[in-house]
Chains A and B, each alone.
Chain A
Amino acid sequence: MIAELINVSKQYPGAEALRNLSLSIPKGQIVGLMGPNGAGKTTLLKLLAGLARPTRGEVRVEGRTPDRLAKARIAYAPDSDHLYPWMTVGETLAFMRPFFADWDQERAATLAEFMALPARQRVSQLSRGMRARLRLVLTMARSAPLILLDEPLSGIDVPSRSRIVEAILGQFQPEQQTLILSTHDVMETEALFDRLILLEAGQVKLDDTADALRNQYGKSVRDLLEEVYR
């Protein structure tokens, strides 16, 4: 197991984001974290990234409570922008590099090229889709054992979505990495996931391998989700 949550609750003022949730996430898989807005996906990722603490219960990544030091082993891409608008793409890559011991410069360059990101363009002039691509480059350039991507596909153009899915598949190393990706739809992701975790109102509604779910329900993950959330 790369990560475990044991009886985890997370209370925000006026809202309970996660309710007594337990989960085990095996190593070496691409995991789809699904559920409608407000189901608790972002909270769950932040707990795993060590950016938030549970109100009750226990979170473990590689057997330890994720803290400031754990950031060296966890690559987290938030759904909002954390990029400096006045930097160029090239400057952003150069700026981020020294923060991470596991940064692979060659991979960063390959990815930036694959994502068609011009090194000299300013972040402020990138489209929403291109910024999402840049965030993915920054995350996948690292060799972290745990990669967390919060809604990398939402609200961006179809070509960017396809590129992002292809880049994930081309760079993911199942022997030494685990990737958790949250999304509220499954347009391009039907064949992407090993495992699916469906959240609803802060609890786990389904948790199984994608093939087992297809087998059990005799339908695509996409159709299954439509049925579950109807």
Chain B
Amino acid sequence: MHFEFDPALPIYQQLIDTIKRAVVRGELAPGDRIPSQRELAQEARVNPNTVQRAYREMEQIGLVETARGMGTFIGRAPDLIPRLRREMAEAAVRRFVQEMRALGLDNATALELVAAGLTSTAADESEGSCK
């Protein structure tokens, strides 16, 4: 796993986000083993207490499960991936709405732009797949 941090944001949160993204993208599957806390601290060059905090929160939200003596694994709850995908999409929407408000756009224009954006991206993608 590759970690790159925005040093201005809490690092434990960025660790969690990295794992979440890897799960949603399918790079990590439910039941996959992830590095131990010590391994991750060394690999990502992050303070062990920060890593511990990230693991604790990931356990609380069901993103990972720790089996004593066996290691830490991606959670196996069936709704995990759809739930994460939805959460991350909602976060992206919140950022988008904030930006639109900051630009002074009304809802109708914002929606119009989203619809246009989705259509053009879909076109790009089908074009890309033909190549």
- The residues of A with any CB-CB pair to B shorter than 8 Å are 28-30, 162, 165-166, 169-170, 172, 174, 188, 190-194, 210-211, 214-215, 218-223
Complex contacts, A29 vs chain B, CB 8 Å: 49
Could you tell me if A191 and B8 are in contact, using CB atoms closer than 8 angstroms?
A: no
Partner of B8, one of A165, A174, A214: A214
Chain A's closest residue to B50 (CB) is A191
Q: Is the CB of A174 within 8 A of B49?
A: yes
For B44, the chain A residues whose CB sits under 8 A away are 191
Question: Is B42 touching A166 in the complex (CB atoms < 8 A)?
Answer: yes
B29-64 Cβ-contact flags toward A at 8 Å (1 or 0): 000000000100110111111101000000000000
Closest 10 CB pairs of A and B: A220-B7, A170-B42, A191-B46, A169-B41, A190-B7, A219-B8, A169-B42, A211-B10, A220-B8, A174-B48
B103 within 8 A of A: no
Q: Which residues 1-34 of B sit at the A interface, judged by CB distance below 8 A?
A: 5, 7-12
**Taking A214-B8, A215-B10, A220-B8 as contacts, is the C-beta distance between A194 and B46 under 8 angstroms?**
no
**CB-based contact B8/A166 at 8 Å:** no
Interface size on B, residues (CB 8 A): 18
Name 29 interchain pairs, CB-CB below 8 A, sorted by A. Answer: A28-B49, A166-B42, A166-B45, A169-B41, A169-B45, A169-B47, A169-B48, A170-B38, A174-B49, A190-B5, A191-B5, A191-B11, A191-B44, A191-B50, A192-B45, A192-B46, A192-B47, A194-B47, A194-B50, A211-B10, A211-B11, A214-B7, A214-B8, A215-B10, A219-B7, A219-B8, A220-B7, A222-B7, A223-B7
- B48 to A, closest residue via Cβ: A174
When C-beta atoms are compared, the residue in chain A nearest to B5 turns out to be A191
Name the B residues within 8 Å of A218 (CB-CB).
Answer: 8
Q: Report the bound CA distance from A188 to B7 in whole Å.
A: 11
Contact of B45 among A191, A210, A214, A223 (CB under 8 A): A191
Q: Which residues of B contact A162 (CB under 8 A)?
A: 45
B86 to chain A, nearest CB (A): 27
Q: A191–B47 contact, CB under 8 A?
A: yes
> How far, in angstroms, from A222 to B45 measured CA to CA in the complex?
16
Residues from chain A with a CB closer than 8 A to the CB of B46 are 169, 191-192
A193 to B45, CA, bound (A): 10
A190 to B45 Cα, complex, angstroms: 9
**Contacts A170-B38, A214-B10, A220-B7: A165 and B49 contacting too (C-beta < 8 A)?**
no
- Bound Cα distance A95, B52 (Å): 36
Complex Cα–Cα for A191 and B94 (A): 28
Q: How far is the CA of A188 from the CA of B46 in the complex (A)?
A: 10
Most buried by B among A29, A30, A162, A211: A211
Given contacts A30-B47, A30-B49, A192-B47, 15 further A-B contacts (CB under 8 A): A162-B45, A166-B45, A170-B42, A172-B48, A174-B52, A190-B5, A191-B7, A191-B46, A191-B50, A194-B47, A210-B47, A214-B7, A214-B9, A223-B7, A223-B8
Residues of B within 8 A of A220 (CB): 7-8
In the complex formed, the residue of A with least CB distance to B13 is: A211
Chain B residues with CB under 8 Å of A223's CB are 7-8
Report how far A220 CA is from B7 CA in the complex, Å.
5
